[in-house]
Structures are given as C-alpha cells and as structure tokens.
Amino acid sequence: MSRPPASSTPPSLQTLNGAWELAPSLDEQWRFRGLHTGAPQAVGAFARTAWMPARVPGSVHADLLRAGVIPDVRVGLHSVEAEWVAARQWVYRRTFRVDLPAGGRLWLRFGGVDWAATVFLDGEELGRLEGAQATSRLRLPDLERHTKHSLVVVLDAPPAGQGQLGRTSQTRTLRPRYGYWWDFCTRLIQVGLVGDVTLERDGGAALLDVAALVSLSADGRRGQVRVDVAHDGAEDLPVTATLTHPDGRQETRTGRADDLCFDLAEPQLWWPRGLGEQPRYHLSAQLDGSAPVSCRFGVRDVQLVHNAASAARGAMPYTLQVNGVPVYARGFNVLPVDMTAGMDGAPERERAVIEYAAAAHATLLRFNGVAPFASQTMLEACDDLGVLVWQELPLTSSGTDNVPPALETFGSVLDAGLPPLLRRLHGHPSVALLGAGNELTGADRRPVHSEHPTIAHMLTHVRRAGLTQPFMPTSPSGPTYDLDETVARTRPEDLHDVHGPWHYRGVRDSYRPHAISRALMHSEFGCQAPARERSLRRFVRPDPWPMDDRVPEVVHHGEWWLMRHRVEEVFGPVADLRRYVLLGQAAQGDVLRHALTWNRSRVGECSAALVWQLNEPWPNAHNTAVLEYDLSPKLAYYRCREANAPYALHWGLDAPVAAATLTLRPAVLADTPGRGRVELRQLTPGGTCVWERHLDVTWPGEATSLSLPIIGEPTLLRGRVLDDAGALLAESEQWVAPDRPTPFAALADLPDTRIHVDTDGSQLTVTNAGRVAAPWLSLEALEDGLEVFSDSGFTLLPGESRSVTATLRGLDGAARPFTLSVQAVNVAPVHVEVTP
C-alpha cells in the first residue's frame, strides 16, 4: 500500500522515552527525602537514595531484572522472591530540555501508567495519572528552553486485587487480574510507566487522535467514512482530513472536526484469511499549529447470524459472517507474550504468536477478560494476516463467585476506564466480536445475559464509542456453563456456547465429551502437557524429575496441571524426564485434534471451536498452551494445525481404545465441497498391515461407519485424503489399543530403534533404520528462535522415510543455522546441523 507523504508541520512532538532512573519508596519516604524535587542529596546521617537505570516505556520488574536487583522471575521459585516489588511505591525521574519552538501551549502526555501515579515538574505537582491503557495530558507552563527541567513520576503501590480464586463481585478496577495469580502464570503484580511519554506543543488547539467510523451498504458496494477526531479546542477550526485508498488514490476534505466524512464507491473490502485480500486505508487529519494524527483501517461488514441449529433452539446467533460470507471460527485463546512489560523483543514475539496462529489455519483468536487487551502489535498482525479477533473487556471469573460487580459500585469505574480502552480498537478490521468478560455468571452459576445492569452499561459504552461489532454478554453464554456429559445426553439443546474440559483424564474421559457434544459454540477447551525438557531444565530446575508435587518448582510452575499420574495410567510407569515429556505432549496433541475435528465435523450446528490456549506469558512446567513461553511449539501445535487445515481427516472415534472392535466414522473436513478418495490402513508397530479400506467419498457428506479389529497390541491407523486426480490433500495418524489398564504401555516400552537424518539445507529426510516403529518423532531446535517446521510428532515405521522442512528464524525474521534434535520414545536424541 502506498503511504501519504510525510507532513511538513513544524516540530510539535518531543519524545521523553528511553533512559530514566528508578528508586523504591516505602510509603511516602520519597516525600521525606524530597525525591520529587529532583534536588541532589547531601552526605549525612541518612543514606543517599540509590538510583538505578530504567527504560520508558517499560516496567519496574524489567528494570530490576536488568539491574540485577531481583533474580530472573521466570526461573524456579524466584517470582516469590520478587513479590515485594508490589509492596512499594516507585519513583521515576529524568531531566530534559525543551526542544520544541517557543509559544503556544505545552503539554506532557503519558500513554499509560500501571496503575496510578503523581507527576512533578521542577518540584511542583502537575497532576495525577491512572490506567495502563489510558492516555493523559497535563498542561505545562511555558518552560525555559535552555534550562534542564526535572520530571519525576511517583507510582502508587498497586491497588489490591484478587487472583483466580477471589470474587468477581468485588472487582473495583479495570486492571487485568491475571497478574494477581492465575493457573497459567505466577503472582507478579506489575507497576511501571508502560506507555510513551512525550512533550507536545500546539498553537492553542490540538488534535489528539483520529478514528475512521465506517458504515457499509447491505450489498457492500457503497460506504461512508466518518472522521472521528478527538481534539482539544478545535470545535470551530478548519481541520483537513486526507483519505488514502489502498491503491494510492487520495481525497482531501476540510471542515469542522465533527463534520468530516468521505463517500466510498466500490470500497476495497478487507477479508478473513483464505477468503480474500486484506487491503487497508489510511486516514490523516491536520490542524494548523498541532501535530497531525493518523490511523489505518479496513472496510468490512461483520455480523453474528443464526445457523439452523441455533435458530431452532432459540439460542443466540453464533456464526460469524464477514461481508455476507459465513466463517467457521477455528483457532485459539491468546494471552500476552510476557507478564512483564518492557522485556526485550516483546513486539517481535507478539507478531510471531499471531504468525504461528495463522500458520495453524486459525480464523479467530479470543483475547479474554483475564488479561490485558490485545496489544496494538498483535492487532496489526491480525489485520495484516486476516485473522479475526474476539476481544473481551477486562472482567473475568473467580473461584468463589463469578458475579459482575454491581453497577452502583462499578459504574463510575466503567465510565472512566472504558472509553480509552475501546478507542484502541478503532480501525482494526480484524476485531470482529466484542464481549463483556470471561465466564461471568449469576449466583446460580448460570451465564449472565445482556440485561444485567453492569453488562448493559458496558454495551452502552461500546456503542457510544462507535464500535458496531456483535457483542457477547460473556462466554460461555449458556444456559449451560460447561460441556456437561449429562446435559449432552439428556438435554443437548441446552448446549449453546460452552467451556471445558481442560484436564487430561485418560483415554476415555478425555475424549468422550467431545464425541457426544452438541454445542453450538465451543469457545474454550484444552488439555495440558509438560514443557520441553530443555525448557524445564532452563526455567524450572536443572533436574525437575519426578515432575509431580514432590518438586516445589514443578508445583510453582503450574500447580493445577500436574499429570504424571494420568500419563502413567495410560502408558505405564515412566522412569525418566525425556520419555515423560514426549508421552505427555503426544497425549495433549491427540486430545486436541480429537476435539477440534469432532467440533468441525458438526459445521452447520457448531459455529466455533477455540483451543485454550495458544501461548503462555510465563514458563510453566505443565500447562494447556500449545506454544511454550519461548514460543517453542509443543507437539499439540502440529495436531491443531492438522485439524484446522483446509482439508483434514476426521477419524470419528469415540475414544482410541475398545474391547474387541473399534467403530470409525471417517469423514473429510474441508472448507470447500469436493469428492475424492480416503485410504485407511491399520499397522502394527513392526509395520505389518492388518486392515485396509479405500472409500470413494464426497464432502460434505454422511460419514461411513466402519468396524476396526482391535488386536492384542497397540496399532497405528494411517489415513490419506486424495482428490479425484489422486493428489494428496490431507493425512493423519491415530494410535489405538485394547481397552485395558495402561493400554499404550507397549508403545512406551518399545525396543530402541535407529534414526538417520539426512540434510540438504532446510530439507530433511528422516529414516527409521530399525525394526520397530518410532512413535511421535519430535523435532526440536536446540537454540532459541522461531521454529518453522512442516511437521513434528509423526510416526515412522521400520524402513520408512519422511521428508520434512525445518527452518529456525530469529526475531528479526532471518533464517539462521541451528542444531536440530530428533527423538522419539525409543530413540535417543539425534543431533544434526541445519544450514538454511
């Protein structure tokens, strides 16, 4: 897209980002010591304040880590040692000279403070700040241009808050609660100057922000862009707006700030990934004497519409429709990349998370109310890659009650905090769905409705902000909260939008709920797995074995997700960490693929399936994420990618075990109709074929029910989907076994086999040179970076070879040489050097 030329407006902005200094204060010790004055301290009875380097924007924790004051909070039990940070006030300071021209008005602008602060200039109080995503402007006197000025920001101690096991009804701020402890992260209550700090000059009026409010005709052939300018004192002044089309054409209008609009004929529509392109428009606004403001935006229509099932049940509509085209929403719940703001490489990691989601064929990502809003970097990446976003407002469930706070006590909080939050969503065509919060219920644990006074007030703010996206009162939206098996069997019509299950519960209980579900939307479900051995030794402890509650660090890094007992119920006793990690990750991948394909097989009834969760903001020993903290994919990532691909094979199993025969209902899951052939084989670990079927199929269509013999050992099902011309569209593997205690123990106890890996640049050929299968071959880079592998977690039978592409990218996007480790349960790690 061509960009408009740079503005010739005289300098009106000066950044104060970068190097600051930082010091702690117990209570108002800062006032006693005069830290707010910026004056030097004399040698005397009172020790002088020790200042340390700080970065703005950033956070106190990040600065303390860099200074070596606190240990790495990601490692071991160190986060407990850092909890004192939230029991202090913190003082930021710096000096500056004003480099802006004299005359006019001078302002100090803060892009966000976590959570509240008092600002002092040259020892005089300027004002108060509050809100990590709220922009504040403080008027300055006409400062002397050649003099150094002292700027001091004193952060309050963080407000009291409740972690996962508190009471939602007692929520008193819009501060995201996950930092007070959640099942996927530690207690790490953040403080800091998390937004940009700038000096701004204007000639008596200022433009603060601009947004494009787009309306579109029903046929999508005409549109209007209303220019929404946030300003200070520009009501009657001429504002000039310039609209740049995706093809570079420009239009300009001049008029009052509240009376500017553009008509669009045949607008270039933004489409979700796979349905079209993602063109963006550019809008800028200028006012004499003020810095120009600009934004990018996309043009699209998004609705929630009924399918036949939701209409028949009298449910809410759950099918996303973009530009008149229904979209089956498959994807993930997403979290911030780090609990600690200001960590090195965060924007690049944020972009990488969205790229991983897009590569796994996600069409919708849910950012739920427990964590901060999706960052601008993440939203821009979703806009660019065509991935839809479901953004919830910052309210979330609790262990004691999930009841939204009463409007009488929370209304003023919403009035102050929601407008700046909601304005951050303008212009992002990817933002397709909004919600009031995560898992909000009445006292009876039934999900709340839009009529709840607090929820209704939030919706009023959403519409007042000019956001037209569909709005969900909460998720799950009920009437049944979770995927309850009794309800599924007796009252399936009550399964609308549901959550769960999340825990691995063996080879029947982990699978059965998904096979009998009749949910219209499955917006949160998961299964845990251990992290990679390398991650465990790096972040948990050098030797984390036996990976259960006898190891305090293992408990600290995921106390709700221990699973060794469950792994051993399925695979028998596990004696070492390497095998445990592979078996646990294989189990997670199998369950998530099973859940995703069962949901997808019900397209027409089910409108969405979102895995909890894509990533994690803190390194866990066990967790439901499919990307680890350092963004290493677990094996489950590849199984999610398989299940969500344009073509996928659904096995139609109730569970991977049976007494004598197993019923398969194989079906082709495809984004477009077609016909072709499905080839199925059942093989022993030694490679002998014991059953085979070839089916001519049409998709969509009724699944064929087949009976599969269960022999005395685990066997491998292989399936391939071919089109009419014989081209491979999809393939899948599924291990099955007799229904008995430790049904897959034989796989965990297979004799060792030998693996050869030949490399040709990033192209690998992996060969099983032994006499037994190598189940769940795992490919891992031994260096930090972003793995871009064509597959991992597959099985090689004796004598088989498999071609795989493997690239490791740095955060800068460049491919780099690395050491690849290839291993399986019965294959010790084989290391090869890969050069792109």
The string of DSSP letters for 132-162 reads TT--EEEEE----TTS-EEEEEEEPPPPP--
CATH of the domain at 701: 2.60.40.2550
Residue 215 has a CB neighbour count (10 Å cut-off) of 14
Same domain flag for 509 and 633: yes
Q: Which of 769, 821, 819, 820 is nearest to 796 (CA)?
A: 769
726 in the Ramachandran plot: left (φ > 0), alpha (ψ -120 to 50) or beta? Answer: left
85 and 162 in a common domain:
yes
In angstroms, the CA 178 to CA 371 distance is 6
The pLDDT tens digits of the residues spanning 767-821 come to 999 999 999 999 999 999 999 999 999 999 999 999 999 999 999 999 999 999 9
pLDDT per residue over 218-237, tens digit each? 999 999 999 999 999 999 99
Q: Cβ(358)–Cβ(614) under 8 Å?
A: no
Residue 809 domain flag: yes
In this predicted structure, what is the pLDDT of residue 272?
A: 98
Look at residues 63, 56, 112, 54 and name the one whose alpha carbon lies nearest to residue 85.
63
The three-state secondary structure class of 313 is: helix
Q: DSSP secondary structure string, 358-398?
A: HHTT-SEEEE-TTSPPPPHHHHHHHHHHT-EEEEE-S-B--
Rounded Cα distance between 637 and 793, Å, is 10
CA distance 135 to 292: 17
Of the CA atoms within 13 Å of residue 524, those in its CB half-sphere come to 21
CATH of the domain at 74: 2.60.120.260
Which stretches of 233-347 are assigned E, i.e. beta strand? 239-244, 250-255, 261-265, 281-286, 293-297, 302-305, 319-322, 325-327, 329-333
Look at residue 2 and tell me whether its pLDDT is greater than 90. no
Q: What mean pLDDT is predicted for residues 743-749?
A: 97
Q: Is the pTM of this model over 0.95?
A: yes
Query: What separation in angstroms does the CA of 621 have from each of 309, 552, 557?
Result: 40, 11, 5
Per-residue tokens: 410: 């929370």
Helix pair angle (577-601, 635-644), 10° resolution: 20
Indicate whether 65 and 166 sit together in one domain: yes
**Secondary structure percentages of the chain, helix, strand, coil, to 5:** 20, 35, 45
Q: Which neighbouring-strand residues pair with 125?
A: 120
| Paired tokens of 399 | 């262990």
Give residue 728's pLDDT: 98
In a 3-state reduction of DSSP, which class is residue 543?
Answer: coil
pLDDT of residue 201: 96
Residues 545-582 have pLDDT tens digits of 999 999 999 999 999 999 999 999 999 999 999 999 99
Whether 537 and 663 share a structural domain: no
Q: Pull the structure tokens for residue 301.
A: 């229509």
Query: Where in the sequence is the domain holding 727, given as residue range(s)?
Result: 649-747
Place of tokens 């039934």: 446
Provide the residue type at 406 as one letter. Answer: A
Element containing residue 105 per DSSP (H, E)? strand 105-110
Phi, psi (deg, nearest 5) at residue 312: -65, -30
Helix 577-601, helix 564-571: angle, nearest 10 = 80
CA distance 654 to 510: 10
pLDDT digits (tens, 9 = 90+) for 232-241: 999 999 999 9
Token representation of residue 192: 């800091």
What distance, in Å, lies between the first and last C-alpha atoms of the chain?
30
The alpha carbon of 266 is separated from its chain's Cα centroid by a whole number of angstroms, namely: 34
Structure confidence at residue 4 (pLDDT): 38
Asked whether residue 667 falls in the same domain as residue 736, the answer is: yes
Q: Is the same domain home to 63 and 188?
A: yes
User: Of 448, 432, 361, 443, which Cα lies nearest the Cα of 390?
Assistant: 432
Q: For the CA atoms of the chain, what is the radius of gyration?
A: 28
Q: Which two tokens stand for residue 807?
A: 């690239």
For residue 628, give the CATH number of its domain. Answer: 3.20.20.80
Same domain, 97 and 149: yes
Burial of residue 447, with CB atoms counted within 10 A of its CB: 0-12 exposed, 13-18 middle, 19 or more buried: buried
Place of tokens 């491919």: 815
Q: Which of 700, 716, 747 is the last residue of a domain?
A: 747
- Who's near 347: CB < 8 A, 6+ residues apart? 375, 377
429 belongs to a structural domain? no
**What is the CATH classification number for the domain harbouring 238?**
2.60.40.10
Smallest CA-to-CA distance from 798 within 681, 656, 683 is with 683
Q: Which residue among 297, 330, 357 closes a domain?
A: 297
pLDDT at 301 over 50: yes
Per-residue pLDDT averaged across 688-713, rounded?
Answer: 95
138 within a domain of the structure (yes/no): yes
pLDDT at residue 430 tops 90: yes
Percent of the chain whose pLDDT exceeds 90: 96
Name the DSSP letter for residue 633.
B
Q: Which residue has the tokens 């013999």?
A: 709
pLDDT tier, 478 (very low <50, low <70, confident <90, very high otherwise): confident
Q: Which of 417, 496, 427 is nearest to 468 (CA)?
A: 427
**Closest C-alpha to 494, from 654, 328, 368, 312:** 312
Pairing of strands 715-723, 674-683: antiparallel
Q: Does some domain include residue 370?
A: no
- The pLDDT tens digits for 13-23 are 999 999 999 99
* Cβ-Cβ contacts under 8 Å for 682 (sequence gap 6 or more): 689, 690, 691, 692, 708, 709, 715, 716, 717, 718, 736
Determine the Cα–Cα distance for residues 638 and 643; give it in Å rounded to an integer: 9
Strand ranges across the sheet with 657-658: 657-658, 728-738, 715-723, 674-683, 689-699
Q: Are 463 and 499 in contact (CB under 8 A)?
A: no
Helix H, strand E, coil C: the string for 448-506 is CCCCCHHHHHHHHHHHHCCCCCCEECCECCECCCECCHHHHHHCHHHCCEEECCCCCCH
Question: How many angstroms separate the CA atoms of 604 and 700, rounded?
Answer: 11
Q: pLDDT by residue (tens digit) across 597-628?
A: 999 999 999 999 999 999 999 999 999 999 99
User: CA separation (Å) from 645 to 357, 695, 797?
Assistant: 12, 21, 25
Residue type, 35: L
Q: How far apart are CA 406 and CA 741, in angstroms?
A: 51
725 and 593 co-located in one domain: no
- The letter for the amino acid at 678 is V
Nearest CA to 805 out of 822, 823, 789, 818 is that of 789
Rounded CA separation 692/4 (Å): 62
Nearest to 693 by CA among 683, 704, 673, 678: 678
CA distances from 657 to 590, 737, 739, 749 (A): 13, 5, 5, 18
Residue reference for tokens 């050491």: 819
189 shares a domain with 239: no
Closest of 448, 787, 304, 389 to residue 610, by C-alpha: 389
pLDDT at 167 over 70: yes
Asked if 154 and 25 touch (Cβ cutoff 8 Å), the reply is yes
d(CA 296, CA 306): 31
Output the pLDDT for position 11. 78
The pLDDT of 677-681, averaged and rounded, is 98
- Give the H or E element holding residue 216: strand 206-216
Report the mean per-residue pLDDT for the chain: 96
Pairing state between β 13-15 and 197-202: antiparallel
Residue 327 inside a domain? The answer is: no
- Is 736 inside any structural domain? yes
Q: Look up residue 680 and give its amino acid.
A: L
CA of 131: how far to CAs of 128, 159, 182, 621, in Å? 11, 11, 21, 32
The reported pLDDT for the residue numbered 780 is 98
Residue that is last in its domain, among 747, 765, 785:
747
Q: Measure the CA–CA gap between 59 and 22, rounded to whole angstroms.
A: 10
Please report the pLDDT score of residue 10 as a whole number: 58
Domain count, the chain: 5
**One domain for residues 82 and 194:** yes
Question: Is 424 domain-assigned?
Answer: no
505 with 581, same domain: the answer is yes
The number of angstroms, rounded, from the C-alpha of 814 to the middle of its chain's C-alpha atoms is: 23
Here the tokens at position 669 are 């899951």
Indicate whether 47 and 183 sit together in one domain.
Answer: yes
Has residue 706 been placed in a domain?
yes
Which residues on adjacent β-strands are paired with residue 697?
Answer: 676
Question: Tokens at residue 812, please?
Answer: 């800068």
